[in-house]
Amino acid sequence: MLRVLAAVLLALLAAGAAHAHTTGIHTGFVSTVSGIDPPLPGLLVRVIAGHERLSVQNWTEKTIVVYDEHGGVAARLAPGEGHAWADPRIDWEGPPPEGETRLRDWRMEGEADGERFAIAGFLGYRPPEAAAEEDEAVGGAGWPGWATAAVLVGGGVLAAVALALPLVRRKGEGVRP
């Protein structure tokens, strides 16, 4: 039974397709982190809300400093700390382009205990109509965000119950001396 519930939970988690910006003028813009050079195990960098905020989580044992576009400090993170901020290097302020395109590459300099590294990525655009057509082709259209969230929460509750059941002692069972 536990295996079945685990499989259902994994299926539910995999089913939720995430698309950046489903409404508004900036629908379709997506900024992506492509790498850290040199690699820095434990430094987690991702873009939130398509192209609006950069999130950096420091799971290294080093102090991380990420510089802004002018060379000032955008974030200083001790081990275990995280921070998210709006950064114009990953954002797009102009009108949407005519069609699907890669708009630009971006790069952010940083230091880990004084050793230089760079976070690299790119900003792209995919017209909302193209994303909607792809959703329809794979059967993902028509699911409102709240429904996806409800399915994920329900799956999480089922998984928690399934994992907790073996820990609950049956009535009458006890610890033997």
- pLDDT(36) > 60: yes
* 48-82 per-position pLDDT tens digit: 988 889 999 999 999 999 999 999 999 999 999 99
Domain range list for the chain: 1-16+143-168, 19-127
| 66, 76, 54, 16 alpha-carbon torsion, rounded to 10° | 130
End-to-end CA distance of the chain: 31
SS3 (DSSP) at 158:
helix
Q: Rounded to 10 degrees, what is the CA torsion of 94, 95, 98, 101?
A: 40
Residue with structure tokens 């576009």? 69
Q: Using alpha carbons, list the distances in angstroms from residue 162 to 6, 139, 146, 166.
A: 8, 29, 24, 8
8 A C-beta contact, residue 58 and residue 69: no
Angle subtended at Cα 141 by Cα 139 and Cα 147, rounded to the nearest 5 degrees: 110
With cut-offs at 50, 70 and 90, classify the pLDDT of residue 109: very high
What confidence category does residue 5 fall into, taking pLDDT thresholds of 50, 70 and 90? Answer: very low
Please give the Cα distance from 52 to 89 (Å, whole number).
Answer: 10
Query: Contact, 62 vs 33, CB < 8 A?
Result: no
> Using an 8 Å Cβ cutoff, are 87 and 121 in contact?
no
Q: Is the pLDDT of residue 11 over 70?
A: no
* CATH architecture assignment, domain 19-127: Sandwich (2.60)
What is the reported pTM? 0.59
